[in-house]
Amino acid sequence: MISAKELLVFLVLCSFTAYTAKGFKSLNCTDFGSRRHNARGTGYFPDNSTMEGGTTDMHGNPLHTLQKYLAGGAPFVSTAMDNTIGIAYGTPLCIPQLNFKYKQLIRFEVVDTGGAFIHKGYSRIDVCTQDREHSWDPTINGPLTLVFQ
């Protein structure tokens, strides 16, 4: 019989192995990719208001929040960026500031856009959070480094 502690260690090691297999090896994203861009981050959350734009991404799929991802309930965190610069739907990216804040490797994907991003290039990103309160997080709403593969 496996103890709870042994199971936890096993799950943590499996999670780490899964990330390293995808190219994530360090919290600062040095092994993820070489294309780095400086951006100003903001938070948004699933809400059917005009300001937030709904509960689904630009392809109609459910938004995945940072908090749900951190709790193990989402495969990635949804982000919104300028869709006029050729970033393909589902493009993965790494954000060192948020990795360090949460002390883990976080998978972000560009799956959404909005009027605030048109012609902003790589200079703006919205990170999906669970609610308005979490969207005000100072790290999310600060300068962020976006690392693309």
Contacts of 139 (CB under 8 A, 6+ apart): 41, 97, 98, 101
Query: SS3 for 37?
Result: strand
Mean pLDDT of 86-115: 95
What pLDDT, on a 0 to 100 scale, did the predictor assign at position 9?
41
CA-to-CA distance for 145 and 29, rounded, in angstroms? 10
Q: What percent of the chain is modeled with pLDDT above 90?
A: 70
Of the ranges 11-15, 45-49, 89-93, 114-118, which one carries the lowest mean pLDDT score?
A: 11-15
Mean pLDDT of 51-65: 90
State the pairing for strand pair 108-112/91-94. Answer: antiparallel
Domains by residue range for the chain, with CATH: 26-148 (2.40.40)
What pLDDT, on a 0 to 100 scale, did the predictor assign at position 14?
43
How much is the pTM?
A: 0.81
pLDDT at 22 over 50: no
Q: Report the mean per-residue pLDDT for the chain.
A: 86
Mean pLDDT of 89-108: 97
Q: What percent of the chain is modeled with pLDDT above 70?
A: 82
Mean pLDDT of 53-63: 92
Dihedral class, residue 79 (left if φ above 0, else alpha if ψ from -120 to 50, else beta): beta
What pLDDT, on a 0 to 100 scale, did the predictor assign at position 2?
58
